[in-house]
Structure 1
């Protein structure tokens, strides 16, 4: 894994701002020539620090007005139930993220839906059918104050 020195940290920060930035523009921002910039970028990609590039979409403009934070409690934790649970979660587009958590509940999901009727149908048709689910608690977002996928990037030396 490459060290995250000041230059690599700056590359990562710039690409989080604009994932479509050309290598020429990136090298210009960094004050370096294109070839070493390209090499650094390729090392960051090959090491898995950069996992991919994507467009950030506006969920409301796509008609997804409801965002819910869903806490699930499960009674079954055997390998087969867990594998089926994970398969369903990974293939359900309305579930943006799922975290196995500590505390009273087992999982925290972030779910989007068109409206409350759509969310209700999602709970009935998907969440209640997940293997071993014994409790579903939803908190609806009233106002999104910050939404970001950008990670704080600072120089970091490897082990």
Structure 2
């Protein structure tokens, strides 16, 4: 990946709706070579998709929580298969430390969170214990990966 590819990724990550004409002009290419490079980044698995970012509150899911989960040894695969089927779970990451996973969940209110914890999460395969933190305020989210790499358009 060269500097032009990095600039293309930076632009697309911050504005996935940018036209190829806009992108090409910004990186100093014509449209066809620009399109070819983006296609190669998609084919190579660097670009994994495009999507709209939604406001949780405006779609009825204002409560954000993080749930740390400890699993019985040998039950990780079963847990991972089961947790992937829980719609309120936006993300699931394995972790090092006292818990095996951290989940990011979005729900309508505290009652829905209580219901999720009591009737769904606690009954998933291998769940030993969990600890929940409710987010009071999101300072920022979804920082672009290319920003973390220090690449600028």
The residue that corresponds to 2:13 in the other structure is: 16
The residue that corresponds to 2:136 in the other structure is: 142
CA contact (8 A) 2:63 2:106 kept: yes
From 63, 74, 80, the counterpart of 1:66: 63
CA distance in 2, matches of 1:140, 1:9: 36
CA distance in 1, matches of 2:150, 2:32: 23
The residue that corresponds to 2:26 in the other structure is: 29
CA contact (8 A) 2:107 2:113 kept: yes
Q: Trace 1:21-60 onto structure 2 (pairs within 5 A).
A: 21-60=18-57
| Unaligned stretches of 5+ residues in structure 2 | none
TM-score normalised by structure 1 residue count: 0.88
* 1:31 to partner: Cα distance: 2.1
CA distance in 2, matches of 1:8, 1:108: 32
The residue that corresponds to 1:88 in the other structure is: 82
Tell me how many residue pairs correspond in the alignment. 149
* 1:90 to partner: Cα distance: 1.4
Q: Which runs of 4+ in 1 moved over 2 A?
A: 81-84, 152-155
CA distance in 2, matches of 1:57, 1:150: 16
CA distance in 2, matches of 1:144, 1:41: 32
TM-score normalised by structure 2 residue count: 0.91
SS in 1 for 2:61: coil
Alignment CA distance shift 1:18-1:34 (3 Å): same
CA RMSD of aligned residues (A): 1.4
* 1:93 to partner: Cα distance: 1.7
SS in 2 for 1:142: coil
CA distance in 2, matches of 1:89, 1:154: 34
* 1:132 to partner: Cα distance: 1.5
CA distance in 2, matches of 1:88, 1:150: 29
* 1:84 to partner: Cα distance: 2.3
SS in 1 for 2:58: coil
